[in-house]
Amino acid sequence: MKVGRIIDGKAFAAGLREQVATGVQSFVAQAGRKPGLAVVLVGEDAASSVYVRNKGKATLETGMESMEFRRSATISQDELLELIDELNGDDDVDGILVQLPLPDHMDDKAVIAAIDPAKDVDGFHVVNAGKLAVGEDALVPCTPLGCLMLLKDELGDLDGLEAVIVGRSNIVGKPMAQLLLKENCTVTLAHSRTRDLASVVHRADIVVAAVGRPEMVKGDWIKPDAVVIDVGINRVAGKEGGKPTLVGDVAMSEALSHVRAITPVPGGVGPMTIAVLLRNTLVAACKRAGLSPPEGL
């Protein structure tokens, strides 16, 4: 029985981080300072704390400055906006990332809108989203850009391929569609309410699953030799009281006999997200300093 290739996101991300580290050295030589990434964490969410710690470690490893701003969950929105305004005006800060989710009393959209678009390394600001939509140069959300890098590494030229994205979020689905359109793919943006979703997925050369439902995309939905990028990270209860396990949005064991290649969960898209965040920070720093970003990034 044919078995598809497992795409090693960890290895690709490691290579990207090495490229960024080399680019940082060049930036320091030209600009006389290190690129700086400021990460803001509000509250004590355990998962968010882990993400912030990992981002800070990776930032330092590439030779950049890492700045963490931890605030109590009881901080007011106005106080958070004041902090963002200070970071917007700080010349040593090239990238600003506010870790989501925020406490319930805060408006995520208002907080993201307060970030200088030139420092919006998450790519969530409406200015960057609009530029991406009309094909202009922009800071792009990290996860979809990482997915695109994996696809191009696997397939090379994507011109003319049919791509189906399952999930329509502003963070993954919509920007992923824009990126694939820019690569001249024929793109369908599907979701949980798409009629006969199985047949829609089955016509795709590229499937990007980002709907947030455990193993929703079944193996027999997938066209033979399609490439599948599984963005989902779902924690499911273990059998008979065992430890919870992480699974994607695709039924991996079923899909392997259909696909040309597929990203695993974990170890696929996840490592790419932080690597692309570092890439975005370096690109933002170069633009702010009037320098050309390193070729290939």
- 185 burial (CB, 10 Å; 0-12 / 13-18 / 19+) is buried
The reply to whether 99 belongs to the active site is: yes
Between CA 123 and CA 287 the distance in angstroms is: 15
Give me the half-sphere count of Cα atoms (radius 13 Å) on the Cβ side of residue 97: 31
The reply to whether 45 belongs to the active site is: no
Residue with tokens 């570092």: 278
Between CA 77 and CA 271 the distance in angstroms is: 31
Eight-state DSSP code of residue 217 = B
Q: Which residue in 120, 122, 205, 230 is the catalytic one?
A: 122
Six-digit token string for 258: 């259909």
Q: Are 59 and 37 in contact (CB under 8 A)?
A: yes
The reply to whether 137 belongs to the active site is: no
Q: Which residue in 94, 99, 120, 249 is the catalytic one?
A: 99
Query: What φ, ψ does residue 265 adopt, rounded to 5°?
Result: -130, 120
Residue with tokens 């259909």: 258
In sequence order, which residues have a C-beta less than 8 Å from that of residue 89 and are 6 or more positions away? Answer: none
Q: Are 285 and 23 in contact (CB under 8 A)?
A: no
Catalytic residue list: 55, 99, 122
